[in-house]
Amino acid sequence: MAVATWKGRTTASPHTSIATTAWPGFLDSWLSRIPLPKWALIAVAVAVAILLLLFLICVVRCCCGKKKPKKKERINLCTVSNSTTASLVQPEMEDLERGVEQMRRGKLQYSLEYNFHTQELKVGVKQAIELKAMDSGGTSDPYVIVYLTSDMKKRYETKVYRKTLNPIFNESFTFQVPQAEVPESTLVMQIYDFNRFAKHDVIGEVRLPLASVNLQHVIEQWSDLAAASRVEEEHLGEICFSLRYVPSTGKLTVLILEARKLKRMDSHGLSDPFVKVHLILNRKKWKKKKTSVKKNTLSPYFNEVFVFEVPFSQIQNVDVVISVWDHDKVTKNEPIGKLFLGCRATGNQLRHWSDMLSNPRRPLAQWHILQPPDVVDKALGLKSHLKLPLASR
């Protein structure tokens, strides 16, 4: 009886522990229904876990795989070679040295002295050092051209020095420059490489605006050579005139007022200017008048008026050509500059012409910059030099 009681207590303890936790009893009862050994169940569970893990990995890779090609395209730049990309980001030292060498053209030593009494500018070309080699042998044959932008027709040249990059010139040149024109002038010194059988190559130049220089004392200094300007813009001067047109009477009035800063044409640094006014009809010269000659001046005052009869039916076919000339008793008169107004004109000339037509009977004055005569003639495209008869009213 005691033993049975002990056995009952012994067998009762497991039932008591199962009753306290419901889930293990349910799992055991559920597993007991599967006709498989325990090791087989464990193997199946592991296989299912592995399959789930592989499925999750595939899902992650598929979602992130859409962005990877774009990243590769942005970063790798397969269409550009590695060498090209590297050269764009970081140029090689040889390229940098080559660029510095091309920038290095040499130095020029010069002097300036202005005489306020005689109004003369004395330019001394002293020497040059470390010039850029232009010949195949590593040398150059340098010489210097000196001129002022206010009078480009007057140019000086030094002697040519053979096979050297450090020439010593020691030459001086004198320019006649009125004191009033000094601030508007620029001194240009260009060094060329002489070539007997080909065009001379420019090594470099020094441009010195005289307005930035104190000419109260003698100046002597060094300057680095810069690349020479390809196009030299020559200042020919400016002219002021007024236009007035009355449609009812067909009268076109041109009043030539004054000019200023004209190009110097004479050897003494001045000019004898006068103005011509041409009317061109249908690209043929038609009527012409001119002012009186003003002696020895670059800023003449005319105040002379000319009246032309132009019917309203022809006003859109007419071009007015204003030209400034230098009078010469011995040789042929030389043109200083020109411009033309009309419906075919451009810029300020067209605006002045349009304002005249928009304001009949009202004189309108304006300043204009003179242009090279050949440029204006080409733009006009004249057919002939014959006058076209037109019945006067």
Domain boundary among 224, 253, 269: 224
Asked if residue 337 has pLDDT above 90, the reply is yes
pLDDT at position 299:
92
93-105 average pLDDT score: 54
Same domain, 207 and 161: yes
The predicted model scores a pTM of 0.47
The predicted structure's pLDDT at residue 33: 65
Residue 76's pLDDT is 42
Answer yes or no: is pLDDT of 251 > 90.
yes
- Which residue did the predictor score with more confidence, 36 or 18? 36
Contact 337, 370 (CB under 8 A): yes
Q: Is residue 39 part of a domain?
A: no
192, 209 contact by CB (below 8 A): no
| Residues whose CB is less than 8 angstroms from the CB of residue 206 and which lie 6 or more positions away in sequence, other chains included | 108, 110, 187, 188, 189, 223, 224, 225, 226
| Triad 293, 296, 301: Cα angle to 5° | 55
Residues 242 and 220 in one domain: no
Side chain identity, residue 210: L
Residue 112: pLDDT over 60 = yes
pLDDT score of 150 = 80
Angstrom distances, CA of residue 210 to CA of 86, 113, 177, 186, 297: 47, 11, 11, 6, 22
Q: Is residue 177 part of a domain?
A: yes
What pLDDT does residue 27 have?
58
Identify whether 232 is part of a domain. no
306 and 355 housed in the same domain:
yes
**Domain of 185, in residue numbers:** 104-224
Question: What percent of the chain has a predicted confidence (pLDDT) above 70?
Answer: 74
Residues above pLDDT 90, as percent of the chain = 42
111 and 137 together in one domain: yes
Is the same domain home to 218 and 243? no
Of the ranges 145-154, 314-323, 343-352, the best mean pLDDT one: 314-323
Q: Which of 191, 224, 257 is the last residue of a domain?
A: 224
Residue 146, pLDDT > 60, answer yes
Q: Who wins on pLDDT, 23 or 3?
A: 23
Return the SS3 of 4: helix
CA-CA distance, 388 to 241, in Å (whole number)?
A: 26
- In this prediction, residue 110 carries a pLDDT of 96
Q: How confident is the model at residue 144 (pLDDT cuts 50, 70, 90)?
A: very high
Query: What is the per-residue pLDDT for 234?
Result: 66
Give the mean pLDDT of the chain.
79
Any alpha helices (H) in the chain, and if so which ranges? Answer: 2-20, 22-33, 38-65, 68-76, 82-89, 93-103, 347-358, 373-380
Highest mean pLDDT: which range of 242-246, 267-271, 358-362: 242-246
Look at residue 93 and tell me whether its pLDDT is greater than 70: no
pLDDT at 307: 95
Burial class (CB in 10 A: 0-12, 13-18, 19+), 341: buried
Q: 391 or 36, which is more confident?
A: 36
Residue 230 lies in a domain: no
Given a cut of 70, whether residue 357 has pLDDT beyond it is yes
User: Average pLDDT of 89-108?
Assistant: 58
Whether residue 35 lies inside any domain: the answer is no
Task: Give me the pLDDT at residue 233, please.
Answer: 57
Per-residue pLDDT at 15: 46
Please say which residue of 224, 248, 270 terminates a domain. 224
Domain membership flag for residue 96: no
Q: For residue 392, what pLDDT band results from cuts at 50, 70 and 90?
A: very low
Q: For residues 364-368, give the mean pLDDT.
A: 92
Give the residue-averaged pLDDT of 271-277. Answer: 94
Instruction: Indicate the range of 94-108, 201-215, 296-310, 360-374 predicted with least confidence.
Output: 94-108
| Same domain (yes/no): 199, 263 | no
Say yes or no: 180 and 254 in one domain. Answer: no
Q: Which helix (H) or strand (E) holds 274?
A: strand 273-281
Same domain, residue pair 173 and 296:
no
Q: Give the model's confidence band at 23: pLDDT under 50 very low, under 70 low, under 90 confident, else very high.
A: low
The answer as to whether 110 is a domain residue is yes
What pLDDT does residue 125 have?
95
Query: Exposed/middle/buried for 204, CB within 10 Å: 0-12, 13-18, 19+?
Result: buried
Which pLDDT belongs to residue 101?
A: 45
Say yes or no to pLDDT of 127 above 80: yes
Q: What are phi and psi of 117, to 5 degrees?
A: -75, -50
Q: Are residues 197 and 265 in the same domain?
A: no
List 223's β-bridge partners, or say none.
Answer: 108
Domain for residue 183, yes or no?
yes
Q: Average pLDDT of 166-193?
A: 91
Q: In CATH, what number is assigned to the domain containing residue 113?
A: 2.60.40.150
Average pLDDT over residues 291-303: 93
Answer with the residue of higher pLDDT: 174 or 136: 174
Quick one: pLDDT band at residue 282, thresholds 50, 70, 90? confident
Kindly state whether residues 335 and 218 are assigned to the same domain: no
| Residue range 133-142: mean pLDDT, rounded | 88
Do 278 and 341 reside in the same domain of the chain?
yes
173 and 134 together in one domain: yes
Per the structure, how many domains does the chain have?
A: 2
